[in-house]
């Protein structure tokens, strides 16, 4: 199990355009990684849209948002376009990154990411872990916690 102040598990995943992203690409800034089950489903759309609506507030706090699910880059591109999402979605099609973050649910051949989130500090360490997420309230919860973490840093 992952713990606070542990190095965040490294990853390299492709975005909606097939471009690779690594954890180290975000070094020096705060990073919100949110895992979610499926593009264009009600809960996942609610969560993505509240994060979209609060994105300017995250940017003021020098924080980037990255969503990760087991959906393909092509699925992510449709989701980003349909919902006008201003942040990156990464395709964890093998489920390996979700597994590394203890956020993978497997049922036979079916693999989906659980709705878990992490705040990663500018040094790449886990600052906060969320294992129980309410899609409509999570964005505000992240903002409040991020402000508190930055105040205490």
CA distance 40 to 63: 24
Identify the pLDDT of residue 67.
98
Q: Percent of the chain beyond pLDDT 70?
A: 100
Give the mean model confidence (pLDDT) for residues 72-82: 98
Give the mean model confidence (pLDDT) for residues 67-85: 98
Q: Is the pLDDT of residue 153 over 90?
A: no
Domains of the chain (ranges; CATH) run: 37-133 (3.40.30.10)
Cβ burial of 14 (10 Å; 0-12, 13-18, 19+) is middle
pLDDT tens digits, 81-119: 999 999 999 999 999 999 999 999 998 889 999 999 999
What pairs with residue 105 in β-bridges? Answer: 112
Give the mean model confidence (pLDDT) for residues 27-49: 97
Identify the pLDDT of residue 115.
97
For the record, the structure tokens of 1 come out as 């199990």
Write out the catalytic residue numbers: 44
């Amino acid at each position: 199990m992952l713990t606070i102040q542990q190095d965040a598990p490294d990853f390299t995943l492709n975005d909606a355009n097939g471009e690779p992203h690594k954890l180290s690409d975000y070094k020096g800034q705060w990073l919100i990684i949110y895992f979610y089950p499926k593009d264009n489903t009600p809960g996942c759309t609610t969560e993505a849209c509240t994060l979209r609506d609060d994105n300017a507030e995250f940017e003021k706090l020098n924080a980037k948002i990255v969503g990760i699910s087991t959906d393909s880059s092509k699925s992510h591109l449709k989701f980003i376009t349909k919902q006008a999402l201003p942040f990156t979605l990464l395709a964890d099609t093998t489920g390996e990154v979700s597994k590394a973050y203890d956020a993978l649910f497997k049922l036979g051949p079916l693999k989906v990411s659980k709705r878990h989130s992490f705040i990663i500090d500018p040094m790449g360490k886990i600052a906060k872990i969320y294992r129980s997420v309410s899609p409509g309230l999570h964005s505000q919860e992240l903002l409040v916690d991020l402000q508190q973490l930055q105040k205490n840093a």
